[in-house]
Amino acid sequence: MRWIPAFFMSCLLLAPAPARAADPLSRTLREQYKMMKNFLVYSGDAMPEEHYSYKLTPTWRTFSEYMIHVAESNFISCSTIRIVPQPDIKLTPAMSKAELMKAVKDSFDFCDPAFLTMTDAKALTPIKSGDRTLAPAEEMVALTNSLYEHYGNVACYLRIKGVTPPSTLRTQRIMQ
């Protein structure tokens, strides 16, 4: 362990503890959701339409299918969190980029209230979803984890097609 002069140690012990922000769980989930929302919307907007049908490998989804999956996952998860019916939408890879990105943005608009109004108390209060009982935080964590995974896949597609992913753009701005 590193030696710390007694004077500095006493200053550390006497310093007031930093105030803790209210609702750290829901705040953290909200921040992660917002970042993935921004990254995925930017990614969909940045990818040229002619590459929406591109498939990285035969077993992977097309870029369009990843965007569809993001939108559908948002609608499913956020209807559970909000305890409201899931919107009845039909998304297909044949949709234009504009139609598909409208659906993706609509899905995030549908999710926003679930994250923006959540408190830790609400996030940990069990709800009924079909025949399951779960805390909204469970679904929020599952959704944000899923969005991270999909963004990782989408970022590969962007790079292959010569588009810089938004997470890299953010890092470059921070480092400059």
Backbone angles phi, psi at 129, to 5 degrees: -135, 100
Does any domain span residue 14?
no
Residue 68, in any domain of the structure: yes
pLDDT (tens place) for every residue of the chain, 176 residues total: 344 444 333 444 444 445 557 899 999 999 999 999 999 999 999 999 999 999 989 999 999 999 999 999 999 999 999 999 999 999 999 999 999 999 999 999 999 999 999 999 999 999 998 899 999 999 999 999 999 999 999 999 999 999 999 999 887 776 45
CATH number of the domain enclosing 146 = 1.20.120.450
Nearest to 81 by CA among 40, 126, 19, 42: 126
Question: What phi and psi values does residue 127 have, to the nearest 5 degrees?
Answer: -125, 165
- Please count the structural domains in the chain: 1
Cα separation, 108 vs 145, whole angstroms: 15
Tell me which residue has tokens 């550390």.
12
| Cβ neighbours around 106 below 10 Å, total | 15
> Is residue 65 domain-resident?
yes
Measured CA to CA, the distance from residue 72 to residue 80 in angstroms comes to 13
Helix (H, G, I), strand (E, B) or coil at 15: coil
How wide is the angle at C-alpha 87 spanned by C-alphas 82 and 93, nearest 5°?
A: 125
Q: How far apart are CA 10 and CA 165, in angstroms?
A: 47
**Residue 43 located in a structural domain:** yes
Instruction: Return d(Cα 156, Cα 60) in angstroms, integer.
Output: 11
- Three-state SS at 133: strand
Element (H, E) at 128: strand 127-129
Contact 63, 53 (CB under 8 A): yes
pTM of the model: 0.84
Structural domain containing residue 108:
36-175
Beta-strand ranges (E) seen in 7-79 are none
59 touches 147 (CB < 8 A): no
**Is 75 contained in some domain?**
yes
